[in-house]
Amino acid sequence: MSTEELIHKIVDEISFGLISPKDLRKQSVVEIQAPDTYDEDGAPITAGLMDGRLGTLEPRQRCRTCGNTAIRCPGHFGHIELAVPIVHIEFTKIIFDLLKATCRSCGRILLPEGSEGPAKDTSLDGRMTVKKAHARIERLNELLGTIPDEVYKEIMTEIKAKQCPYCAGVQYKITFEKPTKFIEQTEAGSEPLTPSMIRERLERVSDEDLEILGFNPKVARPEWMVLQVLPVPPVYVRPSITLESGIRSEDDLTHKLVDIIRINQRLKENMDAGAPTLIIQDLSELLQYHVTTYFNNEASGIPPARHRSGRALKTLSQRLKGKEGRFRSNLSGKRVDRRILPCGYLFPKKLLHGILRK
């Protein structure tokens, strides 16, 4: 008889959100600073990408975080402190919509407040206001128990103000160029919006306005879409193998993380040394490229990152999607140790479409 106590739990719901930089640092077990993996003796380098605190791959070694062997250790995340904020490639469309829907100065939603009673402003008849949006959302929530996505899309299309109704600030046209470039058409001409500027604008958006736009600010603040901290997955996710010649071969994710750490270190050194703005800008764009290809190496508008042999690296997005991805090949596969039911039995149609699309 097994001495392990079996705990059975019923899953009520699955909810998705964004992880904040604070929570990411809290869940991390080590800050990764060295771009190297192993030393000359074959031991993992401290604060490197194969640090013993991230987990263990060797059968007889114990994890320095949980003390378990490779079979029982689930692996632990580390993190990289980015020198400058970086736009997450998978959230560019949402960031673009938010920049167009909120004031560039005060961060308020570009909808008039609206009023009721004797002091009602008749000039707002037929136009969407904050009060009307709140009333519609509350009514649908009472009737349906949920708010359809079409409601938020309709509210977004109603936002066309050229001037902020709260601070009277002039709003300029913003254009988006793939993969992660935002340009604002000001009176002085076209000015690029850096990730730092985008993050500052998104931080000014209030929780009340975010709820009108379909966000749950408790689990998904928009500034979290601009990364300050990059999570480093456990070694169990990106194992290194030893070839017949005795040379270690690292995983594609590890290769990409090495590039990110090296460019990040160069950028920090140049910023501390007071390097010219042009050099800082070039290194920031290079760091943006490496983080973008780390998440999705098939993003349109940029060349894919390649191995020395010329083969395109298989990064996070490529591991999950498609017929050979984790969902269809591993989790729903026929010849695996643990198999889940087809997604249609577990998830609603909209969520299933989102998972397969990603």
pLDDT tens track for 18-41: 999 999 999 999 999 999 888 888
pLDDT at 344 (0 to 100)? 45
Q: DSSP label at 310? A: S
| pLDDT tens, position by position, 238-277 | 988 877 777 788 899 999 999 999 999 999 999 999 999 9
Question: How deeply is 232 buried, as exposed, middle or buried, from its count of CB atoms within 10 A (0-12, 13-18, 19+)?
Answer: buried
Contact at 8 Å (CB) between 194 and 87? no
Contact at 8 Å (CB) between 171 and 161? yes
Q: Which residue has the tokens 């402003």?
A: 121
Q: Percentage of residues in the chain with pLDDT exceeding 90?
A: 55
pLDDT at 14 (0 to 100)? 84
Closest CA to 290 of 311, 268, 263: 263
> What is the DSSP code string of 13-81?
--------HHHHHHH-S-B---S--B-TTSPBPTTSTT-GGG---STT---TTT---TTT-----EEEE
Q: Which residue has the tokens 């964004």?
A: 18
Alpha-carbon gap, residue 175 to 262, rounded angstroms: 31
Q: In the chain, which residues have pLDDT < 70?
A: 1-7, 115-126, 335-358
* CA angle (317, 322, 323) in 5-degree steps: 140
- pTM recorded for the entire structure: 0.85
pLDDT at 358 (0 to 100)? 41
Q: Which residue has the tokens 């990106």?
A: 238
Hey, which residues does 137 pair with through a beta bridge? none
Contact at 8 Å (CB) between 226 and 85? yes
Alpha-carbon gap, residue 303 to 115, rounded angstroms: 52
